[in-house]
Structure 1
Amino acid sequence: MTSAVERHGAFTFKGNPVTLLGPEIKVGDTAPNFTVLANNLTPVTLDDSKGTVRVISVVPSLDTGVCDAQTRRFNEEAAKLDGVTILTISVDLPFAQSRWCGAAGIDKVQTLSDHRDLSFGLAYGVAIKELRLLSRAVFVVDANDKVVYAEYVPVVGDHPNYEAAIEAAKAAK
């Protein structure tokens, strides 16, 4: 991994503190651009959804209980959030994401893979140095690329504050 800001103990994985790479993004910051892969292996950037409110849901792996529940919850909410783009980003391979979405009936959230170069993880400070996974987090970015909500969930097994993220997305419209 490239050299980046290291935030020791910023996240707990299975009871052990780990190091997050990258800066802590805060409300009011300009959202950093990134390049991740869609399920069909095409590159996707933040700029691709410019002009819309974006909810960026970050999970370690779709094949785990809390990550599964988090992605399903945002998929349900997407139907009620007209004009809001919801992205779920993990380091799962695009093929695995596609299979999981099909099996789970996920059709309103775009799953994206950061497996190739951790572009998103390093830009948003969610890359776990010791595991090459992403920590759990939620960001809401307005149509002008300003971060209006940022939540770094400190413990891997905890859920994010869904209601706060959804309210931030509604308020940013």
Structure 2
Amino acid sequence: MATITLKGERFKTVGELPKVGEQAPDFQLIDRNLETVNLSNYKGKRLVLNIFPSIDTNVCATSVRNFNERAKDLDNTEVLCISRDLPFAQKRFTNGEELKEVITLSDFQTQEFGKDYGLEIENGPFKNLLSRVVIVLDEEGKVIHSQQVTEIADEPDYLSALKTLL
């Protein structure tokens, strides 16, 4: 269980993030076309999991834009932007911003991803949303980088995550 803050107020997550060197848990998420997507859909590719509470907040939207810009230069890598927003909201945002380098996925249906990855917020005003986390996976689905952003209003450390892919 991690402790995160929102402007100094403390909250807890439901568990621990997957650790560097561990195999990432499988997942079932919903894409913008309401299709189910699993981790195995990306076998053989490196993944950046940009996870956040809601696409409709400034910092979350900024992280999607930032990873979209940086994704152009990543070989054999997909950037998955994951939240519990409805796929319709995710699609509206990425289409409106013309973001074509990232893939938005939603945990709204089963809500297992947040629990399995230990990052669902357990209490407070963001209860049941996903905390701000970046996880990088290698081609075999093993964790090579993991960052729980401790202050939810802060952006993730983009450079540390992307350096693991060089």
TM tier, smaller:
over 0.9
Query: Structure 1: which 4+ aligned runs deviate by more than 3 Å?
Result: none
How far 1:161 moved relative to its partner? 0.8
1:143 equivalent in structure 2:
139
CA RMSD of aligned residues (A): 1.1
State the 1:23 CA deviation. 2.8
Q: Which runs of 5+ in 2 are unaligned?
A: none
Aligned to 1:126: 119
Query: 1: CA distance between counterparts of 2:65 and 2:76?
Result: 19
Q: CA shift at 1:169, angstroms?
A: 2.1
- Are residue 37 (structure 1) and residue 33 (structure 2) matched? no
Q: 1:117 to 1:22 in 2, by over 3 A?
A: farther
Q: Are 1:55 and 1:169, in contact at CA under 8 Å, matched by a contact in 2?
A: no
3-state SS in 1 of match to 2:13: strand
Which residue identity lines up with residue 154 of structure 1 in the other structure?
Answer: T
Q: CA deviation at 1:145?
A: 1.2
Q: Which amino acid aligns with 2:17?
A: E
- In structure 1, list runs of 5 or more residues that go unmatched: 1-6
For structure 1, which segment, 20-29 or 70-79, has the greater mean C-alpha deviation from structure 2 after superposition?
Answer: 20-29
> What per-residue deviation string (whole Å, max 9, x for no partner) do you get for residues 48-102 of structure 1?
1011100000011111111111110100111111210110000000001000111
Give me the whole-angstrom Cα distance separating, in 1, the residues matched to 2:97 and 2:57: 13
Could you tell me the percent identity over the aligned residues?
39
Q: CA deviation at 1:15?
A: 2.9
Match of 2:154 among 131, 152, 158: 158
Q: Which letter does structure 2 place at the counterpart of 1:157?
A: A
Matched, 1:61 2:71: no
Shift of 1:116: 1.3
